[in-house]
Structure 1
Amino acid sequence: MAIVALSRFSFLAAGAVLLLGGSQASQAASLTLPFQLARHVAQNNGNRDCSAKLPTPVISLNLTSIYEDDDESRSTVDPENKDRYDKAIAQTREFAAFVTKYASNYTETDGNRLDAASCTLQALDSWARAGALSDLKTRQSYLSATRIVAGAALAYAQVRPAATLLSYDTSAIEKWLGGLAERTIPVYTESGDRNSNKQNHRYWGGFAVTAVGVAIGRKDFLDFGFESYKLGVCQVTADGALPLELMRKKKARDYHLHAAGPLVMMASLLQANGYDALSQCDNGLRRLVHFALDSINDPSLMEKLAGEPQVKLPRDNNGLIRPDRIAWLDAYLHYYPEDRNIYKKFFDGALFSSNLGGRISVLYNVSQRD
């Protein structure tokens, strides 16, 4: 059995010796998380039990596009298609929301909520042992599952310090996550020259594989992530635009924000492990983030480049953009703190996205923990 430290703030410093189980032990490398894990693992509430109802494992997904079939720009939603999609993926989304919520509860209390860690581990283990998401029937199912895999992997990384305290065997979880990542890679590498292999779908796939790699110690997964990341940021124009997302016409702004999320999170995970991500292609990521965020309140340049007025973005009652659309922003500001004064106007609380691993603000800002 191999001891693997996955954070620069070592799990050992957190008071937990974490053992890899299964066949991955021999392949595991010492990888690093870009954020500080729970700092007071030993000072917990002593509650080992999870009182929440665990989400039922979903084995099969059969998803199709939400857009009108004859819409080449994939920007006009077909209500019936969307309703069918939402119903089909609802239980899977509930799982992602569950594991990232409880993982975030554990992190936000700096390890006090041992019961929250137990909930996350039990849900992950339940889905792993059931072979969840093993029957993905369509390409769209694979593309959509990447967001679930990414969120689950980062949720697992957050609660691993609690596994030893709970005497929890995590080998099934690691085998399951590794298998999902392995099945994700050929979706993009063995399906020809298509746009979805070069635009936001590829970035989400790269992020999912990278997140699993960091969580279970698979550097080869990070290599795939780095190639996916470069494929994205090296397309960014001088204006900061992604040409393939501009092709989404009236939803170009929405898709630039959607594409920025996995690219920012990948950059963070990769940079922490020795990859030169942030400076790639003349700081392409920073140009993209500025362009996407600046378009929230002033879409004029986006509309000029996309050739159409942009659809409205979902906003909360306070008038701010819905937080999940920019949940990656606190990860970005971790590396570019000088931009905080410019973009702090877009949010007024902790940013959360189950697709990105939970409360990003709490992960990257320990001052927000209690």
Structure 2
Amino acid sequence: MRILQPLCHGITFAFTAAALLCAMPTAQAACVVPPAEHTIDPPGFYDDPAGYQQAVKPMRAYIDRLNKAAEAGDWACTIDLLEGWAQGDALMGPITGYQGYYERSWAGTDFALVRMRAQKLGRLDASRAAIIDNWLTRIAMATRDAQEINSLHNNLTYWAGLNLVAIGTVARRSDLVDDGVARVREGIRDIGPHGELQRELKRGNRALHYHTFALLPLVFAAELVRPRNINLYAENQHAIGRLADLVTRAVQDPDSFRAVSPIKQDLFPWTFQDELSWMEPYYASQHDSRLPTLIAARRAFHEWRLGGNVTQAWGVTLP
């Protein structure tokens, strides 16, 4: 069991009475479920930044509400939010561009990880789970079949793999898990001898950011399939570890990334903050001795694609 002291952290796949107590809500505000967003179809993130931000705002507001409810242990509201959007078949409307496919994939992953925590805490009954899981399965199938993602063979394909693994796990759909693992394995095969990803190196001055972003779905997928006796960490001669090492060294010394790219790197403000969320589960299972210092300086990690408070859900006590 992973428990952080003195905070109530550590809800993962096994739960104790202490974790249940930590997850119990105190006084909760009224839960207002916003109308389901029928579709998500923003302009490209780089094509029209202002238009993009405006278009994703309603979905992001819902996800923020969902993740905060889970973080607060308000499971009644968490389930109401998921069921409300499930009944509205949210995000399943037509997409005319390409960015919407990525957004739906990321959102579905978040929904599945939140729903997973509710299930493990015994807060989700079978009838409501069925409603939510039918919706999540539709999201996963749409992600699986999206050629706008499948044709890329880059970090977005790996994120689609995590979407399928997460939803397949909660919905008990081994076929979706298998399809997700195949996409994740594509990412693992892409990792070179120095931890580099050739497709992400083509990003030029954003290559380090996209190596960090690509690592997230690989680590979380590896963790989710461990109960199935699938050791993704061992594949391609421990390739995930090579990528994790490349990113870790770059966090410690950004100039170290010059070993794989001579281009000066530009980072988003969140690149070396919440997009280092992978460090929580990775340290818990792989015990890289460099990570506690880096983790402690940044906790708590929050990532909207990964259920919100990643530290609470995945973290362990640091030495």
TM-score, length of structure 2 as denominator length:
0.86
Alignment of 1:205-224 (within 5 A): 205-224=160-179
1:163 alignment partner in structure 2: 124
Q: Secondary structure at the match of 1:204?
A: helix
2:5 alignment partner in structure 1: none
2:8 alignment partner in structure 1: none
Alignment of 1:59-208 (within 5 A): 59-68=38-47, 81-106=48-73, 116-137=74-95, 138-160=97-119, 161-164=122-125, 169-188=128-147, 194=151, 196=152, 198-208=153-163
* Structure 2 CA distance for partners of 1:309 and 1:124, relative to 1, 3 Å: same
**Residues in 2 aligned to 1:303 and 1:206: alpha-carbon distance in whole angstroms:** 29
- Answer yes or no: is the 8 Å Cα contact 2:249–2:256 preserved in 1: no
Please report how far the alpha carbon of residue 322 of structure 1 lies from its aligned counterpart in structure 2 after TM superposition.
5.2
Q: Which has the higher helix share?
A: 2
Letter paired with 2:293: K
1:249 aligns with 2:192: no
* Structure 2 CA distance for partners of 1:312 and 1:99, relative to 1, 3 Å: same
Please report how far the alpha carbon of residue 199 of structure 1 lies from its aligned counterpart in structure 2 after TM superposition.
0.7
- Answer yes or no: is the 8 Å Cα contact 2:281–2:315 preserved in 1: no
* Structure 2 CA distance for partners of 1:118 and 1:41, relative to 1, 3 Å: farther
**Residues in 2 aligned to 1:293 and 1:264: alpha-carbon distance in whole angstroms:** 14
**CA offsets 1:157-215 (integer angstroms, 9 cap, x no match):** 11121124xx9633211110011111110114xx6983x2x111001111011111111
Q: Secondary structure at the match of 1:153?
A: helix
**Residues in 2 aligned to 1:181 and 1:289: alpha-carbon distance in whole angstroms:** 27
* Structure 2 CA distance for partners of 1:343 and 1:247, relative to 1, 3 Å: farther
* Structure 2 CA distance for partners of 1:125 and 1:302, relative to 1, 3 Å: same
Instruction: Pick from 275, 279, 284 the counterpart of residue 334 of structure 1.
Output: 284
- Answer yes or no: is the 8 Å Cα contact 1:264–1:328 preserved in 2: yes
Residues paired across the two proteins, number? 305
Letter paired with 2:13: F
Instruction: Pick from 46, 53, 58 the counterpart of residue 32 of structure 2.
Output: 53
Letter paired with 1:233: I
Letter paired with 1:359: N
Letter paired with 1:355: R
1:351 aligns with 2:309: no
1:36 alignment partner in structure 2: 14
* Structure 2 CA distance for partners of 1:202 and 1:219, relative to 1, 3 Å: same
**Residues in 1 aligned to 2:206 and 2:161: alpha-carbon distance in whole angstroms:** 22
TM-score, length of structure 1 as denominator length:
0.75
* Structure 2 CA distance for partners of 1:46 and 1:238, relative to 1, 3 Å: closer
Letter paired with 1:131: D
Please report how far the alpha carbon of residue 240 of structure 1 lies from its aligned counterpart in structure 2 after TM superposition.
0.6
Q: Return the index of the structure with the highest Cα Rg.
A: 1
Please report how far the alpha carbon of residue 342 of structure 1 lies from its aligned counterpart in structure 2 after TM superposition.
4.2
- Answer yes or no: is the 8 Å Cα contact 2:101–2:149 preserved in 1: no
Please report how far the alpha carbon of residue 249 of structure 1 lies from its aligned counterpart in structure 2 after TM superposition.
0.4
Letter paired with 1:336: Q
Please report how far the alpha carbon of residue 64 of structure 1 lies from its aligned counterpart in structure 2 after TM superposition.
2.5
Please report how far the alpha carbon of residue 297 of structure 1 lies from its aligned counterpart in structure 2 after TM superposition.
4.0
RMSD: 2.8
- Answer yes or no: is the 8 Å Cα contact 1:49–1:118 preserved in 2: no
* Structure 2 CA distance for partners of 1:322 and 1:305, relative to 1, 3 Å: closer
Please report how far the alpha carbon of residue 89 of structure 1 lies from its aligned counterpart in structure 2 after TM superposition.
0.8
Identity of aligned residues (%): 21
Letter paired with 1:272: P
**Residues in 2 aligned to 1:206 and 1:300: alpha-carbon distance in whole angstroms:** 31
Q: Secondary structure at the match of 2:312?
A: helix
Q: Which is further off, 208-217 or 339-348?
A: 339-348
**Residues in 1 aligned to 2:60 and 2:138: alpha-carbon distance in whole angstroms:** 20
**CA offsets 1:311-348 (integer angstroms, 9 cap, x no match):** 14416xxxxx65311112101111111x1444522543
Q: Secondary structure at the match of 1:234?
A: helix
**Residues in 1 aligned to 2:316 and 2:196: alpha-carbon distance in whole angstroms:** 32
* Residue segments in structure 2 that go unaligned for 5+ positions in a row: 3-10
Please report how far the alpha carbon of residue 296 of structure 1 lies from its aligned counterpart in structure 2 after TM superposition.
2.5
**Residues in 2 aligned to 1:334 and 1:326: alpha-carbon distance in whole angstroms:** 14
* Structure 2 CA distance for partners of 1:146 and 1:282, relative to 1, 3 Å: same
* Structure 2 CA distance for partners of 1:322 and 1:54, relative to 1, 3 Å: farther
Please report how far the alpha carbon of residue 273 of structure 1 lies from its aligned counterpart in structure 2 after TM superposition.
1.6
* Residue segments in structure 1 that go unaligned for 5+ positions in a row: 1-7, 10-32, 69-80, 107-115, 316-320
